[in-house]
Amino acid sequence: MKKILVADDEMSIRLLYSEELKDEGYEVLTAADGREALDIVEKNPLDLVILDIKMPEMSGIEVLRQIKEKNPNLPVLLSSAYSEYKQDFGTWASEEYLVKSSDLEDLKAAVKRHLQD
């Protein structure tokens, strides 16, 4: 079973994403902040990470940088309510940048695209 980490400081998003992704047949871990996310990445073999950008203490962009430094082949999807971070050079290392929407079809399609067989 493919294992996905959802890192978002909003509990409602963590719940929504994990329910939807579990329905798709994935195993889902969650993190409420960047440090927890990095800790989980270090301790678990993951297939993909979905990362919120705006989180307290450590931004998703910094988390992305640290993940890619150690795990360059682990696909990371950034998910933000804002599109403006797309201009930020730090986001370019991600596989995809998704703008949050109540419709999760784009997110689920991106997950499928980036999971390796």
For residue 57, is it left (φ>0), alpha (ψ between -120 and 50) or beta?
A: left
Q: Which of 7, 29, 37, 52 binds Mg ion (CB under 5 A)?
A: 52
Task: Give yes or no for residue 33 binding Mg ion (CB under 5 A).
Answer: no
Instruction: Give me the least distance between CB of 115 and Mg ion, in Å please.
Output: 24
User: Residue 9 or 36: which CB sits closer to Mg ion?
Assistant: 9
**Smallest separation (angstroms) from Mg ion to the CB of 85:** 12
* Selected binder of Mg ion within 2, 3, 35, 54 (CB under 5 A): 54
Under the criterion CB under 5 A, does residue 68 sit at the interface with Mg ion? no
Q: CB of 54 within 8 A of CB of 80?
A: yes
> With binding defined as CB under 5 A, does residue 95 bind Mg ion?
no
Question: Under 8 Å CB-to-CB from 80, ≥6 apart: which residues?
Answer: 52, 53, 54, 60, 97, 98, 99, 100
In this structure, are residues 5 and 26 in contact, taking their beta carbons and an 8 Å threshold?
no
Using alpha carbons, select from 1, 3, 78, 72 the residue that is nearest to residue 34: 78
Interface with Mg ion (CB under 5 A), residue total: 3
Q: Which residues bind Mg ion (CB under 5 A)?
A: 9, 52, 54
